[in-house]
């Protein structure tokens, strides 16, 4: 095709194919080396990988950016223009999925043989739009314009069975064994993605599975002459990988969801055992070759699947199979919300995976025998610890199954792991304390500093060299520069340039104007009541009310741009109401001439990884304000701190560790601690008493209830107000005053720009700990015990 006729998308695709071609040699070499050495690898099983755009990351990993930009320029093409056409694969909901993407990046960069296994959803997380300020979901057709980063392998499809029943038969030795007679099956087609390490020649694989109808199935029906039925069957099969469930931190409990989970782990185990391991490999030695890390409970059905393979397909006895299964799985828990722990009704498992249910029953029987042996006579304990819940309906507690089976169980921040041991999984931790460990989350410095913040990266590299990109602890070398006025002013210039860039993006993307002279105060994360976007809204409404009532002179208000980014699960009513309220407050405040240049609210729709990469480097203040004891870790908090935003936050999740590292004087702490929350709740929390006692809070809530943000319609936000006054599960009202006070401290601190910038620099210098490279080293030391294997790039051609 003639270049003149090529669309921007054509050019983007051409560039992507060129880069991936370059990576291909390294990919093949990585695989060759693994086949040769057969060293221990890590398989990260995750229902979500929220990858973000691939082009930039690949250019960075290959160090091809400059060459690409120059050669494109020679052709009259701007690299920047091509970057912007890439549609990010949104194959995840939020933190959990993005964490998986950071982890595989770090594993590749650390030269660890590893493979990611997940689902190639045809539709990722929905595209969020606002209609009259209310969230409306649109399908995310991310494959529409072609997907140059994936390699489909239809020839390597595997079959996955479902349904049917089990039969008791006798084996050769006359022992009774159970046999699964499945009712139907689908095929899983692997789509491989390259996961390049940072300039080290290693290219690992992310293998995502796509479902299609089996040939046999089709053929049977076609032969019977029923064309429409055959096509229907195809659609039925393809449904399995059709769409990502948009629920976040809540279990979905739907049959299709369980189908997705079993589908991808069954494909992955089969792939690993039959294609990755050498032919004839003795599976008794499996623990020498692999750890399957279970990313939350979504892949936990892999446990009975491996037992089934070993016993039913390989003819092993139970104890042998259990011994190996125990050693190869480890489980990461990502939540503290009891309602978010997945349970599957036994009735559903019976229908979809009857053999697996039998295996789970047997695991439970053996486990409970162990509990009774350890705690004779303590029947209550046995009942509490049972993998099978008896009410409200008989169901399998997937977190318990994972805990009982896994070699290790970890939480994702120090406080979270402590609360798992003390509360969520207390009985299990009492029985097997050595099983429990912590690995604090991390984020990849490649994507979230080096790529997202070229200005800051340049400044850091100039000061301390570029070693920090793969050794983030080296950021501590910046510490002395926090007192260097020249450095501080350059740091400030970078922040200003990042704000200007963010403003440009907002203008181009959404037609939203951002005043770059204001403090950028950002709260971006899924909309969830426990994360308390409402507390942020009350802060804004209170400031607005105080100005309007004359209590606060406008000149005293620190000019701020409040940036929200948040998707609500489509079925989560209250979350959607809160989105509508934020937009309503935004409209009123932004349109009020009295607020001009002082208080502005921007809420770009469809917050995603791509937008995060532009916003985070521009932020001054990072809002991490969940009620203590609910946010397992948070990872946005780390990204902001690493980019020089100061945090206003509760003692929750990884905030605790951030504050410890940056120091109290560089962090705005507020709110009740987890034990305080616990005490208030158990004493019988009465939110209305806070409303009665606190005039500012009362005025803010009254203003919302008065219809001031809804054209006088008083009932509009009644559900939100009533919920706060009557229930307030997440103690928004109880923490209001403390939050307002902390925000006042923010204003005071921000007024001294030198001191603020110094704090910002110290945030960068002291948060190297939050590299996902460090998280991976912790997993390697404490859980996986796999070794790096370097790839020799010297002989490779471009
Ligand atoms: C989460 C936690 O809510 C979040 O705090 C954590 O940082 C993340 C990664 O460990 O996992 N758990 C969860 O279910 N989702 C998360 O983001 C969706």
Residue with tokens 């259990």: 322
The residues annotated as belonging to the active site are 334, 525-526, 531, 635, 639
Angle of CA points 49, 52, 56, to nearest 5°: 135
Q: What pTM, to 2 d.p., does this model score?
A: 0.98
Strand partners, 150: 193
Q: Contact, 580 vs 133, CB < 8 A?
A: yes
Do 462 and 402 lie in one domain? The reply is no
Boundary of a domain, candidates 378, 407, 436: 407
* Residue having the nearest C-alpha atom to atom 13 of ligand 1: 249
Ligand 1 atom nearest the C-alpha of 631 is: 5
Do 326 and 461 lie in one domain? The reply is no
For residue 1, pLDDT over 70 is answered with: no
Q: What is the pLDDT of residue 365?
A: 98
* 20 falls within a domain: no
* 265 falls within a domain: yes
Ligand 1 mean position, distance from CA 99 (Å)? 8
Q: What is the pLDDT of residue 672?
A: 98
Confidence band of 798 (pLDDT split at 50, 70, 90):
low
Confidence band of 382 (pLDDT split at 50, 70, 90):
very high
Quote the number of domains for the chain. 2
Do 454 and 370 lie in one domain? The reply is no
SS3 content of the chain, % helix, strand, coil (to 5): 55, 15, 30
Residue with tokens 């969801």: 257
Do 342 and 453 lie in one domain? The reply is no
Do 275 and 395 lie in one domain? The reply is yes
Mean pLDDT of 1-5: 79
Q: CB under 8 Å to 347, separation ≥6 — which residues?
A: 393, 394
Ligand 1 atom nearest the C-alpha of 335 is: 12
For residue range 553-603, list pLDDT tens digits in order: 999 999 999 999 999 999 999 999 999 999 999 999 999 999 999 999 999
Ligand 1 mean position, distance from CA 682 (Å)? 26
Which range of residues forms the domain containing residue 642? 445-780
Do 302 and 397 lie in one domain? The reply is yes
| Residues within 6 Å of ligand 1 by CB | 93-96, 99, 248-249, 334-335, 412, 441, 631-635, 653
User: What is the distance in angstroms between the CA of the first residue and the CA of the last residue of the chain?
Assistant: 24
Q: What is the pLDDT of residue 218?
A: 64
* 335 falls within a domain: yes
* Residue having the nearest C-alpha atom to atom 7 of ligand 1: 634
Do 230 and 278 lie in one domain? The reply is yes
Ligand 1 mean position, distance from CA 485 (Å)? 39
Q: Contact, 407 vs 326, CB < 8 A?
A: yes
Token duo for residue 701: 């809530």
The Cα 41–Cα 115 span in angstroms is 8
Confidence band of 377 (pLDDT split at 50, 70, 90):
very high
For residue range 159-170, list pLDDT tens digits in order: 999 999 999 998
* Residue having the nearest C-alpha atom to atom 17 of ligand 1: 95
* 468 falls within a domain: yes
Q: What is the pLDDT of residue 215?
A: 74
Q: CB under 8 Å to 780, separation ≥6 — which residues?
A: 110, 112, 786
Q: Contact, 721 vs 707, CB < 8 A?
A: no
By three-state DSSP, how is residue 1 classified? coil
Do 472 and 383 lie in one domain? The reply is no
Q: Contact, 638 vs 770, CB < 8 A?
A: yes
Do 506 and 647 lie in one domain? The reply is yes
The Cα 197–Cα 418 span in angstroms is 33
For residue range 152-211, list pLDDT tens digits in order: 999 999 999 999 999 999 888 888 899 999 999 999 999 999 999 999 999 999 999 999
Do 224 and 361 lie in one domain? The reply is yes
* 433 falls within a domain: no
506-524 burial, b at 16+ Cβ within 10 Å, e below that, comes to beeeeebebbbebbbbbbb
Do 605 and 691 lie in one domain? The reply is yes
By three-state DSSP, how is residue 187 classified? strand
Ligand 1 atom nearest the C-alpha of 98 is: 9
Residue to mutate, 94, 125, 417, 443, ligand 1, most ligand atoms under 8 Å from C-beta: 94
Ligand 1 atom nearest the C-alpha of 249 is: 14
Token duo for residue 161: 């069975």
For residue 222, pLDDT over 70 is answered with: no
* 527 falls within a domain: yes
Ligand 1 mean position, distance from CA 633 (Å)? 7
- We report the CATH number of the domain holding residue 142 as 3.40.50.2000
For residue range 121-155, list pLDDT tens digits in order: 999 999 999 999 999 999 999 999 999 999 999 99
For residue range 537-556, list pLDDT tens digits in order: 999 999 999 999 999 999 99
* 68 falls within a domain: no
* 58 falls within a domain: no
Boundary of a domain, candidates 407, 436, 461: 407
Do 402 and 491 lie in one domain? The reply is no
For residue 633, pLDDT over 70 is answered with: yes
- DSSP assignments along 228-243, one per residue: HHHHHHHHHHHGGGTB
Token duo for residue 667: 């962090």
Q: What is the pLDDT of residue 219?
A: 67
Q: Which helix (H) or strand (E) holds 179?
A: strand 176-181
């Amino acid at each position: 095709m003639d270049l003149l006729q090529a669309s921007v998308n054509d050019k983007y695709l051409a560039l992507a194919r060129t880069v991936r071609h370059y990576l291909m040699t390294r990919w093949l070499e990585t695989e060759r080396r693994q086949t040769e050495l057969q060293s221990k690898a890590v398989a990260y099983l995750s229902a979500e990988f929220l990858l973000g755009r691939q082009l930039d990351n690949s250019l960075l990993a290959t160090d091809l950016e400059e060459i690409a930009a120059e050669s494109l320029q020679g052709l009259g093409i701007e690299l920047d223009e091509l970057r912007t056409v890439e549609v990010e694969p949104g194959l995840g909901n939020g933190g959990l999925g993005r964490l998986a993407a950071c982890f595989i990046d770090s594993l590749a960069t650390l030269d660890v043989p590893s493979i990611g296994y997940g689902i190639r959803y045809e539709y990722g997380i929905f595209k969020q739009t606002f209609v009259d300020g209310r969230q409306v979901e649109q399908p995310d057709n991310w494959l529409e314009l072609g997907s140059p980063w994936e390699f489909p392998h239809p020839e390597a499809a595997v079959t996955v069975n479902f349904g049917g029943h089990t039969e008791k038969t006798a084996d050769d030795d006359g022992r009774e064994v159970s046999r699964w007679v499945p009712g139907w099956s689908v095929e899983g087609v692997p789509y491989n993605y390259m996961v390049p390490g940072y300039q080290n020649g290693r290219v690992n694989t992310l293998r995502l599975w796509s479902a299609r109808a089996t040939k046999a199935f089709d053929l049977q029906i076609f032969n019977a002459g029923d064309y429409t039925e055959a096509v229907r069957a195809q659609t039925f099969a393809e449904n399995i990988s059709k769409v990502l469930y948009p629920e976040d931190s809540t279990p979905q409990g739907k049959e299709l969801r369980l189908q997705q989970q079993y589908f991808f782990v069954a494909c992955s185990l089969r792939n690993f055992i039959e294609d990755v391991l050498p032919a004839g490999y003795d599976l008794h030695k499996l623990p020498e070759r692999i750890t399957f890390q279970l990313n939350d409970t979504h892949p936990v059905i892999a446990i009975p699947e491996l037992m089934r393979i070993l016993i039913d397909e390989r003819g092993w006895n139970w104890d042998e199979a259990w011994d190996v299964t125990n050693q190869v799985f480890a489980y990461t828990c990502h939540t503290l919300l009891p309602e978010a722990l997945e349970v599957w009704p036994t009735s559903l498992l019976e229908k979809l995976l009857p053999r697996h249910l039998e295996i789970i029953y047997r695991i439970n029987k053996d486990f409970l025998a162990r509990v009774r042996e350890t705690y004779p006579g303590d029947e209550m304990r046995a009942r509490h610890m049972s993998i099978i819940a008896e009410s409200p309906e008989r169901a399998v507690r997937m977190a318990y199954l994972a805990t009982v089976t896994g070699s290790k169980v970890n939480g994702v921040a120090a406080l979270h792991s402590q609360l798992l041991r003390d509360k969520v999984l207390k009985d299990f931790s009492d029985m097997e304390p050595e099983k429990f460990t912590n690995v604090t989350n991390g984020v990849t410095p490649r994507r979230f500093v080096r790529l997202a913040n070229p200005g800051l990266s340049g400044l850091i590299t100039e000061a301390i060299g570029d070693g920090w990109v793969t050794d983030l602890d080296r950021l501590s070398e910046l510490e002395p520069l926090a007192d260097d006025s020249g450095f501080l002013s350059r740091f400030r210039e970078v922040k200003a340039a990042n704000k200007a860039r963010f403003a440009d993006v907002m203008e181009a993307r959404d037609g939203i104007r951002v005043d770059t002279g204001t403090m950028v105060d950002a709260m971006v994360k899924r909309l969830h009541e426990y994360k308390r976007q409402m507390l942020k809204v009350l802060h804004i409404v209170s400031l607005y009310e105080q100005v309007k009532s004359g209590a606060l002179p406008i000149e005293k208000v620190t000019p701020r741009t409040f940036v929200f980014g948040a998707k609500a699960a489509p079925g989560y009513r209250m979350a959607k109401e809160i989105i509508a309220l934020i937009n309503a407050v935004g409209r009123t405040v932004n349109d009020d001439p009295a607020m001009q240049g002082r208080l502005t609210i921007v809420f770009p729709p469809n917050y995603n990884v791509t937008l995060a990469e532009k916003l985070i480097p521009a932020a001054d203040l990072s809002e991490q304000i969940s009620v203590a004891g609910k946010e397992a870790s948070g990872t946005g908090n780390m990204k902001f701190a690493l980019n020089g935003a100061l945090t206003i936050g509760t003692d929750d999740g990884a905030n605790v560790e951030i504050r410890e590292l940056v120091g109290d004087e560089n962090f705005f702490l507020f709110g009740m601690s987890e034990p305080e929350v616990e005490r208030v709740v158990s004493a019988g929390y009465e939110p209305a008493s806070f409303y009665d006692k606190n005039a500012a809070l009362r005025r803010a809530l009254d203003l919302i209830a008065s219809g001031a943000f809804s054209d006088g319609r008083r009932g509009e936000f009644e559900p939100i107000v009533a919920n706060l006054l009557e229930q307030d599960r997440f103690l928004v009202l109880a923490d209001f005053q403390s939050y307002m006070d902390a925000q006042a401290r923010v204003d005071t601190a921000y007024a001294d720009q030198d001191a603020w910038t110094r704090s910002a620099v110290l945030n960068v210098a002291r948060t190297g700990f939050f590299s996902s490279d460090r998280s991976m080293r912790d997993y390697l030391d404490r859980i996986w015990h796999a070794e790096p294997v370097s790839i020799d790039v010297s002989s490779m051609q471009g």
